[in-house]
Amino acid sequence: MSSSGSSVLEGWEKGSFSAAGISHDTFRKGSGPGVVVVHEVPGITPKVAAFADEVVQAGFTVVMPDLLGVPGKPMSNGYALKSLVKVCISKEFTSLATGKTSPVIAYLRALGRSLFDELGGKGIGAVGMCFSGGFALGMMLDDHMVAPVLSQPSLPFSVGARRAADLNLSPDDRLVVQRRAEQGCEVLGLRYDADRLVGTRFDSLRELLGDRFIAIELPSTRKTDHSVLTEQRDEASVQRVIEFYRSKLL
């Protein structure tokens, strides 16, 4: 890790976690109920780390798996493109296939279970962003996931109407998620309203989850508005996510 990356992640404990044939480094910090923060493309940037630090300061134990990129490296167009290529070719992510659950979900579910088994409490939370935006939905397959947050979910990539509506879940997993919503598990979703990468997934989420889906759709002021919690950060939305965790986990 570069010295700049080290300073960005100062105070975070580096570890590793393996499950489902997948291994990644992890970064952990804080105390209290567990929250898994899954970064966006291109990786754990300074703004992703800053958001995670705010969750820590709000009274939570945060674990960030390092799925792509160089931890602490700032966002740039070239860096984002390089990481995007990795998403497209990695077998961990179903970047184009519809009606399938990304293999990395099994890894994240195991990571979440390990965290919950250690910390206990009412359950855990998670947030995914961009390519990982829908991953918290897949983590709802486990009852201990009680505070899932989906920020600008963008997989599979919105090439065509079918992919633009797909939730990156297999039919069987869709049924489990729907049942959990019927049992009372709420899902918080955030997006800019002109963000084409999100496609029509919010319509799909409303159809699947009904009134258990809490949608925050912000007016886009620029064509580049995408990352609600980081690069094009909306302060009120960040606080809404933290309040969601407080209401469900504390």
What pLDDT sits at residue 7? Answer: 86
148-177 tens-digit pLDDT: 999 999 999 998 999 999 999 999 999 999
CA distance 81 to 38: 18
CA distance 133 to 156: 10
Whether the Cβ atoms of residue 94 and residue 58 lie closer than 8 Å to each other: no
The yes-or-no verdict on residue 116 having pLDDT over 80 is: yes
How far, in Å, are 19, 126, 192, 226 from residue 221 at the CA level?
41, 28, 9, 11
Region of residue 103 (phi > 0: left; psi between -120 and 50: alpha; otherwise: beta) = alpha
What pLDDT sits at residue 3? Answer: 42
pLDDT grade, residue 112 (50/70/90)?
A: very high
What pLDDT sits at residue 5? Answer: 60
pLDDT grade, residue 6 (50/70/90)?
A: low
pLDDT grade, residue 139 (50/70/90)?
A: very high
186-224 tens-digit pLDDT: 999 999 999 999 999 999 999 999 999 999 999 999 999
- ω into 219 cis (within 30 of 0): no
Beta bridge mates, 16: 25
70-97 tens-digit pLDDT: 999 999 999 999 999 999 999 999 988 8
Percent of the chain with pLDDT over 70: 98
